[in-house]
Chains A and B, each alone.
Chain A
Amino acid sequence: MASNTLNESKQLATWYFTFAFILFGAQLLFGLVAATQFVMPGFLFEILDFSVARTLHINALVVWMVFAMFGSVYWLLPDETGINTIGIKMGKLLYWIFVAAIAVVVLVYIFVQVGPADETTIWFIMEGREYIEAPRWADFGIVVVALGFVANLFLTGMKGKQTGIVTVLMADMIAFAGLYLAGMFFTDNISIDQYWWWWVIHLWVEATWEVFVGAIAAYGLITMIGAHRKVVEMWLWIEVAMLFGSGILGMGHHYFWIGTPEYWWEIGALFSALEPIPLVAMFVHVLYDWGKTQGAEEEAGNSASVINNKPAFTWFVLNAFGNFLGAGIWGFFHTLPQVNLYTHGTQFTSAHGHLAFFGAYATILIGMMYIAVQGKNNIKVLKNTKSSIWAVSMIAGGVMGMTVALTIAGYVQVLVSRAQMGATWAGYFDGQAGMWFAQGMDWRLVMGLVTFLGFLLLAKDLLTTGKNPVHER
């Protein structure tokens, strides 16, 4: 393997991780602005309104995760395939195109904000759909970048060693890129429009992204604790089967109230009930491999920890637990149509969104950043530091605190806005006027600040790891 080209792929991965981390910070900052506006509605009024801050908050979330996912693939590809990443120069060029496009889109969101609500708005300012509001010119740019990324992955995967992890990633990433196309066109009928929009949002996060997490967890377990590849990949195939088996038709829980036929109630209920099962399996997967690998070492008379990257492993374990908690428990709270009728569109959804995106994706992507930092600095054993421990504690505690606060606020909305006042105009406002809702929003802001402070510590830890003598080299 030509090490210089190998380094190029990993170098490109670190670029992706770096920009992802910057966007992660932006996501938290704009989230703080939006959270402040719940408490002080006049904050930045007509300068950076809630609608703009929220757009930036949720789009930065999606984009930083996509950047970190691309970075993760570029990082693991040479390790898994045993060859240089093919087309790495094109990959680098596409990276800069991607960064430039995102920078322009963000600047337009901040400084232009709204358009005349005609075709020029859709093409040059924003498309107006949650999570994928990028204007259409950027959509095409994203498709080109994604296709280039998929080409890198496929050309390398087909020529090199086709491990289970790479094979899963190849199938998963083509679905990931292809599904984006479903969010690029409009129909006049809002039900049909939303029907296709969910193909991007749901099938990304509850199918292709979850499968991606399974593949990354498999790679991480092999890299960090030396878990047996065949065992890990066996788990991966089971997870893929369960995730796609339940996740694809689990989309029905988004079709309850958008004007689609009522048979989606049954489909959504059945597959939503099954959706937490793979999340439990993923949780157990980590426990199983850790127990087996550590147990084998201890049987051989070696009591030392098998973990060679403690911070990354902490984030991976947090991922297994957080995925189960955020996507599983907080999802199952309100996934059946009988109760979703009341919870839909309340802060319950927001609570679930915060914990699920954090638990299922942010955690493992931060773990991959630690693996990259370890590899980049040739560290044999990366240890926990005070910063890494405080960072993970404050970020996880902050997100959990926000989730609990939003859940309480959502509960008030369910009782007042929906059950007592029947989803009326007056009910909408009365539900938000109560003390519990207001205090829920206060605590969400406080916990958001805790999360942001944790992020600053995480940045410090990642940036100083290379020079920290505590790690074994």
Chain B
Amino acid sequence: MIDPSVIRPEIALDDFLPIFLSSALAMLFGGFYVGIYTAVKVKMLKSWAMPIAYLFWFLTAYSLYIMGSLMHVGEFTAKALIVSMIGYLLLPHAVYHMQHQVHEENEH
């Protein structure tokens, strides 16, 4: 018989698989978002693919929301995840802008 005090009830048994899947999907969708965004910008993909990139960002944010909810993250961690997602949305734009400027300066 296991002492009930050593069992940690914070996460339900059935929630572990969705947590691992949603955390993996958050990263995977995030990779697609930045990858497609960059591919469109460097003309490896047509511009119609750009909305798909943003759709992947939305899926990233949603996966992270699912993960955080199932984990019952605290207020601070929830805020950290929201800030991360906003940063993740803006980051490719900022990085691409800088890269493009450098590229233009050297090409023209």
Contacts and interface: CB of A to CB of B under 8 A. Distances in A.
Main SS of the interface on chain A? helix
Contacts of B106: 228, 230-231
Nearest to B37: A284
B78 to A, nearest CB: 10
Given A421-B2, A422-B8, A291 B43 contact: yes
A277 B16 contact: no
Interface residues of B, number: 46
B102 A338 contact: no
Interface in A316-351: 324, 328-329, 332-333, 336-339, 341-342
B42 A291 contact: yes
Contacts of B38: 284, 287-288, 291
B26 A342 contact: no
Contacts of B13: 415, 419-420
Interface in B48-90: 71-73, 76-77, 80-81, 84, 87-88
A394 to B, nearest CB: 24
Contact of B77 (A338, A341, A418, A424): A338
A331 to B, nearest CB: 9
Contacts of A284: 34-35, 38, 92, 95
B69 to A, nearest CB: 11
B100 to A, nearest CB: 9
B11 A339 contact: yes
B30 A280 contact: yes
B2 A295 contact: no
Contact of A234 (B72, B76, B98): B98
Contact of B99 (A231, A269, A328, A329): A231
B16 A292 contact: no
Given A280-B30, A291-B39, A419 B16 contact: yes
A328 B27 contact: yes
Given A277-B87, A338-B11, A414-B16, A269 B2 contact: no
Give the bracket for the number of chain A residues in contact with chain B. Answer: 35 or more
B98 A411 contact: no
Given A277-B91, A283-B31, A419 B42 contact: no
Interface string A426-450: 1100000000000000000000000
Nearest to B25: A329
B6 A424 contact: yes
Contacts of B84: 273-274, 277
Given A266-B76, A419-B8, A231 B35 contact: no
A108 B65 CA distance: 51
Nearest to A321: B31
Interface string A272-305: 0110110011011001100110010000000000
B43 A411 contact: no
Contacts of A338: 10-11, 71-73, 77
Interface in A246-282: 266, 269-270, 273-274, 276-277, 280-281
Interface of B: 2-3, 6-8, 10-11, 13, 16-17, 19-20, 23-24, 26-28, 30-31, 34-35, 38-39, 42-44, 71-73, 76-77, 80-81, 84, 87-88, 91-92, 95, 98-99, 102-103, 105-107
8 contacts: A266-B76, A273-B77, A276-B30, A277-B91, A288-B99, A338-B10, A342-B16, A414-B16
Given A283-B35, A418-B8, 10 more contacts: A234-B102, A273-B81, A280-B30, A281-B91, A284-B35, A287-B38, A324-B31, A333-B23, A339-B19, A411-B16
User: Which 10 A-B pairs have CB atoms at the shortest separation, nearest pair first?
Assistant: A422-B6, A291-B42, A338-B71, A270-B80, A329-B27, A422-B7, A269-B77, A291-B44, A234-B102, A273-B84
